[in-house]
Amino acid sequence: MTLRRGIRWVVRHGLVRRTVQRQMRAGDLGSRLMMDPTIRENPFPCYDELRAQGRLVRTDLALLSAHHDVCLAVLRSPDFGQMCLDQVPGILRLGMRLGGHPVLTPIEPPSMLVVNPPEHTRYRKLVTRAFCARTIAAMRPRIEQIAEDLLDEIAQSSADGPVDLVSRYASLLPATVIAEMLGAPVAMRRQFLDWGAGAALSLDIGLSYRDFRRTELDITALHRWMLGHFADVRRTPRDGVLSSLVAAHDQGDQLTLDELSSIAMLLLAAGFETTINLLGNGAVLLMRHPDQLDVLRAQPQRWAGAVEEILRYDSPVQRTGRLAQRDTEVAGCPVKAGSFIVVLLGGANRDPAVFPDPHRFDVTRPEADQNLAFSSGIHYCIGAALARLEGEIGLRALFRRFPDLALTGTPHRRPTRVLRGYDAISVRLTSPALTATSAPSALHPSEQG
Ligand code: HEM
C-alpha cells in the first residue's frame, strides 16, 4: 500500500470499520445494518425492528429512521444538508490533508450528490434539461430497439444453455442507453461497467483496504479516460450531454476540470449502476411471483405501476444520509446541529403506515408510487424518468420475448450495501416443463419479511 493511500483508507474507512465492527459485536443495530453480512442479504426484519423502536432511533453510530414520514421530512428540510469538509472532526480533517489529493469519488465534493447549494444548484442546472420528462419520453423507441437487439443476441447465442441475465441484459441495457445519451463510445460499455462496479463500492462505509484500493484505481482510470474524452470532444464536437458540459466549461461557466469530470462520471456511473439493480431485482421478483406476471400479461397497462412496486419492494438504493446544519426538529423529534441521520429508504418503503401489508409484492398496489426509491428534496434523482422508462421497457420486453423465463439457481447478491441488487442471475430461457411450483421459483427467505 502506498503511504498516502494507506492514510486515506484509515481516515475514510479503517477507523470507522474498527468502531463499527466493535459495536456490531456488542449488538448495536445501526452498526449491524452497516456491516453484518446476514443483514445485507435481508435487511427488512432489521428495518422493522428499528421502526418499532422509534421514529428516530439513536444508535452508537448515528440517528436512524425507517419511518416514511420522518425520512421524507429530513430529505425535504432545508435544516439538513450534506457534510462539508469543515464539519469533519479536527483529527480526521488533518488525516484527510495528509492523505493527499483524494480521487473524485461520488461521495466527496465536488460530487453533485454531496454538495449543498449554491454549488449544488450550479452543477444540477447544467444537466437538468437533458433528463427532463419530455426529453426522456422521446427516447422510448430507441430504448425499445436497444432492448430488442440485446434479447436477439441472447436468443441466438444461448437458446439451450443457462444465461446470466445481469451480464447479458440488465447491465448492458442501461450502459448502452447512458453511453449513447452522454455521447460516450458504446463499444466501451463493458469497460465502463467494470469501472462503475469499482466506483459503486465507494458508496459503502468501512471498506476493506482491498476494496478501497479497487475503488481508487477504477475511479482514477475513469477520470483519466474522461479527461482524454473531453479533449477529443473539443477537437471534434459531437452530440450528447458530455459535449454540452465541455462547452459550458469552455464558455467560462466557472467549472473547474475536476468539477466537470465529477459531474460526467456521476452521470455515467449512476446511469447504469442503479438501473442494473432495478432490472435485476424486477426480473427475479417476477420470476418468483408468477401470479404477478400473470396480472401484467392480462393488464399490460399496469407495467408502470409494477416498476414502482419493484422500486418500493426491493429498492436499488437502500439508504442515504443527511447532517443537521442547525438545531432543529423533525417529525416532532428534536435534533442537534451536527447530528447525522441515516435515512433508510428501503425501510421507509416498507413502512406499514403508508404501504399496508408492506412485505407483500403486489404490482396492483395503489400507493406504490409513494416510494422514496429516488429520494426527495433537492437531491431527488435526476435520472428517475430515465430509470423508470428503462425499467418498464426492459422488463416488459424480457418477459414478452421469453415467457417461460425461469431461474436455474439462487441469484447472487452483489457485495454492496447502499446499492441492493444482483451481480449474477442464472436463467433458462425456455422451460416448458418448469412451472411455478418448481423449486427455483419458490419465495426466497429474504422476501418473507
Ligand atoms: C433505478 C434507478 C435509480 C435509482 C433507484 C436512483 C436513486 C437515486 C437516489 C436515491 C438519489 C439521491 C440520493 C440522496 O438523496 O442522497 C439519486 C441521485 C442521483 N441520481 Fe439516481 N437513481 C437511479 C437511476 C439514475 C439514472 C439512470 C441516472 C442518470 C444519469 C441517475 C443520476 C443521478 C444523479 C446525477 C443524482 C444526483 C442528484 C443530486 O444530487 O442532485 N440516477 N439517485
Using the atom order of ligand 1, give the atom closest to the CA of residue 373.
5
Confidence bin at 90 (pLDDT 50/70/90): low
* Cell output for 140: 422510448
Which protein residue has the closest C-alpha to ligand 1 atom 6? 374
Q: What are the tens digits of pLDDT across the range 38-85?
A: 888 999 999 999 999 999 998 877 899 999 999 999 999 999 998 765
Q: What local confidence, expressed as pLDDT, does residue 82 receive? A: 86
% of the chain residues with pLDDT over 90 = 72
- Residue ranges of the domains in the chain? 3-447
* Ligand 1 near 281 CB (within 6 A): no
* Ligand 1 near 386 CB (within 6 A): yes
Q: What are the tens digits of pLDDT across the range 310-325?
A: 999 999 999 999 999 9
* Cβ within 8 Å of residue 221, ≥6 positions away: 195
Euclidean distance between CA atoms 155 and 168, whole angstroms: 11
Euclidean distance between CA atoms 331 and 57, whole angstroms: 13
CATH 1.10.630.10 fits 3-447, yes or no: yes
Q: Which residues of 294-326 are buried (b: 16+ CB within 10 A; e: fewer)?
A: ebbeeeeebbebbbbbbbbbbbbbbbbbbbbbe
Which protein residue has the closest C-alpha to ligand 1 atom 3? 274
- Report the separation in Å between the CA atom of 375 and the middle of ligand 1, taken as the mean of its atom positions: 8
Own/partner contacts of 37-41, CB < 8 Å, gap of 24 or more, are 40/413, 40/415, 40/417, 41/413, 41/446
Nearest alpha-carbon partner for 275 in 307, 242, 228:
307
* Ligand 1 near 123 CB (within 6 A): no
Q: List, edge to edge, every strand of the sheet that includes 163-164.
A: 163-164, 426-428, 406-407
Q: What local confidence, expressed as pLDDT, does residue 1 receive? A: 62
Q: What are the tens digits of pLDDT across the range 233-279?
A: 999 888 889 998 898 888 876 789 999 999 999 999 999 999 999 99
User: Is residue 180's pLDDT more than 50?
Assistant: yes
User: Is residue 441's pLDDT more than 50?
Assistant: no
| DSSP state string for 339-367 | -EEEE-HHHHTT-TTTSSSTTS--TT-TT
Euclidean distance between CA atoms 324 and 238, whole angstroms: 43
* Ligand 1 near 381 CB (within 6 A): yes
Euclidean distance between CA atoms 341 and 321, whole angstroms: 6
* Ligand 1 near 170 CB (within 6 A): no
Distance of CA 96 to CAs 72, 99, 211, 282, 302, Å?
32, 5, 19, 40, 50
- Report the separation in Å between the CA atom of 4 and the middle of ligand 1, taken as the mean of its atom positions: 31
* Ligand 1 near 342 CB (within 6 A): no
User: Is residue 449's pLDDT more than 50?
Assistant: no
Q: What are the tens digits of pLDDT across the range 323-380?
A: 999 999 997 889 999 999 999 999 999 999 999 999 999 999 999 999 999 999 999 9
Euclidean distance between CA atoms 229 and 134, whole angstroms: 28
Q: What are the tens digits of pLDDT across the range 106-138?
A: 888 899 999 999 999 999 999 998 999 999 999
- Report the separation in Å between the CA atom of 270 and the middle of ligand 1, taken as the mean of its atom positions: 6
* Ligand 1 near 150 CB (within 6 A): no
* Ligand 1 near 278 CB (within 6 A): yes
Give the mutation target among 76, 381, 386, 422 for probing the ligand 1 site: most ligand atoms within 8 A of CB.
Answer: 381
Q: What is the helix (H) or strand (E) element at residue 80, kind and residue range?
A: strand 80-81
Could you tell me which residues are beta bridge partners of residue 81?
323
Give the mutation target among 274, 417, 422 for probing the ligand 1 site: most ligand atoms within 8 A of CB.
Answer: 274
User: Is residue 200's pLDDT more than 60?
Assistant: yes
Which protein residue has the closest C-alpha to ligand 1 atom 31? 383
Q: Are strands 63-65 and 340-343 parallel, antiparallel or unpaired?
A: parallel
- Report the separation in Å between the CA atom of 316 and the middle of ligand 1, taken as the mean of its atom positions: 10
* Ligand 1 near 270 CB (within 6 A): yes
- Report the separation in Å between the CA atom of 224 and the middle of ligand 1, taken as the mean of its atom positions: 23
Alpha carbon of residue 438 to chain centroid: 32
- Cell 432489521 belongs to residue: 46
What integer is the mean pLDDT of 140-157? 96
Euclidean distance between CA atoms 194 and 221, whole angstroms: 11
- Report the separation in Å between the CA atom of 360 and the middle of ligand 1, taken as the mean of its atom positions: 26
Cα distance between the two ends of the chain: 42
Q: Is residue 312 within 8 Å of residue 355, measured between CB atoms? A: yes
- Report the separation in Å between the CA atom of 68 and the middle of ligand 1, taken as the mean of its atom positions: 19
* Ligand 1 near 375 CB (within 6 A): yes
Rounded to the nearest integer, the mean pLDDT of the chain is: 90
Q: Is residue 206 within 8 Å of residue 17, measured between CB atoms? A: yes
- Kindly report the backbone phi and psi dihedral angles of residue 263, in degrees, each rounded to the nearest multiple of 5, phi listed first: -65, -45
Q: What local confidence, expressed as pLDDT, does residue 86 receive? A: 59
- Kindly report the backbone phi and psi dihedral angles of residue 378, in degrees, each rounded to the nearest multiple of 5, phi listed first: -70, -20
* Cβ within 8 Å of residue 439, ≥6 positions away: none
* Ligand 1 near 316 CB (within 6 A): yes
* Ligand 1 near 143 CB (within 6 A): no
Euclidean distance between CA atoms 63 and 295, whole angstroms: 40
Which protein residue has the closest C-alpha to ligand 1 atom 18? 381
Using the atom order of ligand 1, give the atom closest to the CA of residue 317.
5
Which protein residue has the closest C-alpha to ligand 1 atom 21? 381
Euclidean distance between CA atoms 319 and 349, whole angstroms: 11
Q: What is the helix (H) or strand (E) element at residue 322, kind and residue range?
A: strand 320-324
Confidence bin at 4 (pLDDT 50/70/90): confident
Residue type present at position 163: V
Q: What is the helix (H) or strand (E) element at residue 333, kind and residue range?
A: strand 333-335
Using the atom order of ligand 1, give the atom closest to the CA of residue 120.
41
Q: What local confidence, expressed as pLDDT, does residue 332 receive? A: 85
